[in-house]
């Protein structure tokens, strides 16, 4: 029979190991910024089409991740998608006239919102909206546009 003290030490070590594992999962593995972003600020942007954008997709500026998509809604009056972006608080100098576009990382990669800085001296604040937006490129539309242009050219040429 193992004595009481070493049992207590072993249990203590076990609990410490378990908590350390949980801590590692939370800090090292997961996106803990989901919580630190909780005190960030929100911007909204309207798009004609968001393609495959999802909640929690990254928001980047110059390729650097500065926030994430917090919510996606559909505005029935304007027939537009309203995307709420949550930006980390340290990125507080985004010019007012910045534009937002939806890009795809790589050929099959996930979609994300890229912000292009404008030239305005005033900065975005909480609940502001981004007016300049560019929708996601939808493959079918791209192809049909291309084909349409081709036909117009052929018709004009003859």
Partner 1 sequence: MDWLQSLGRTGLILFERLGRGHLFLLRVFGGMSDTVLRPSLLIAQMYSIGVLSFTIIAISGLNVGMVLGLQMYNTLVDFGAEDSLGQVVALSLVRELGPVVAALLFAGRAGSALTAEIGLMKATEQLSGMEMMAVDPIKRVVAPRFLAGMLSMPLLAAIFSAVGILGGFFVGVGLLGVDSGAFWSQMQANVDLREDIVNGVIKSFVFGFVATWIAVYEGYDTVPTTEGVSRSTTRTVVHSAFAILALDFVLTALMFGGI
Bridge partner list, 40 = none
Q: Who's near 136: CB < 8 A, 6+ residues apart? A: 47, 49, 50, 51, 52, 53, 102, 103, 104, 111
> Measured from the CB atom, is 26 or 142 closer to partner 1?
26
Please, what is the minimum distance in Å from the beta carbon of residue 151 to partner 1? 35
R_g (Cα) of the chain, nearest Å: 24
**Least Å distance between CB 28 and partner 1?**
7
Question: In angstroms, what is the minimal distance from the CB of 17 to partner 1?
Answer: 6
Burial degree of 97 (CB within 10 A; 0-12, 13-18, 19+)? middle
| Smallest separation, CB 39 to partner 1 (Å) | 15
Environment class of 13 (CB within 10 Å of its CB; exposed 0-12, middle 13-18, buried 19+): exposed
DSSP classification of residue 136? P
Cross-strand partners of 132: 99
Between 104 and 129, CB nearer to partner 1: 104
For partner 1, the closer of residues 11 and 139 by Cβ is 11
| Residues found near partner 1 in the complex (CB under 8 A) | 4, 7-8, 10-11, 13-15, 17-22, 24-26, 28-32, 34-35, 56, 58, 65, 108
Q: Helix or strand or coil: residue 36?
A: helix
Q: From the CB of 36, what's the least distance to partner 1, in Å? A: 10
Name the nearest CA neighbour of 131 among 99, 90, 105, 88.
Answer: 99
**69 or 124, CB closer to partner 1?**
69
């Amino acid at each position: 029979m193992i004595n009481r003290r070493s049992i207590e030490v072993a249990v203590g070590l076990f609990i410490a190991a378990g908590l350390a594992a949980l801590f590692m999962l939370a800090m090292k593995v997961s996106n803990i910024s989901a919580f630190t972003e909780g005190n960030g600020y929100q911007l909204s942007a309207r798009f004609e089409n968001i393609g495959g954008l999802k909640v929690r997709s990254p928001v980047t500026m110059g390729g650097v991740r500065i926030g994430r998509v917090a919510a996606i809604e559909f505005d029935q009056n304007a027939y537009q998608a309203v995307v709420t972006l949550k930006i980390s608080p340290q990125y507080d100098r985004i010019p007012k006239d910045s534009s937002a576009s939806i890009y795809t990382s790589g050929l099959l990669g996930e979609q994300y919102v890229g912000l292009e800085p404008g030239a305005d001296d005033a900065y975005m604040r909480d609940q502001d909206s981004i007016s300049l937006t560019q929708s996601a490129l939808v493959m079918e539309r791209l192809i049909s546009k291309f084909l349409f242009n081709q036909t117009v050219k052929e018709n004009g040429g003859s």
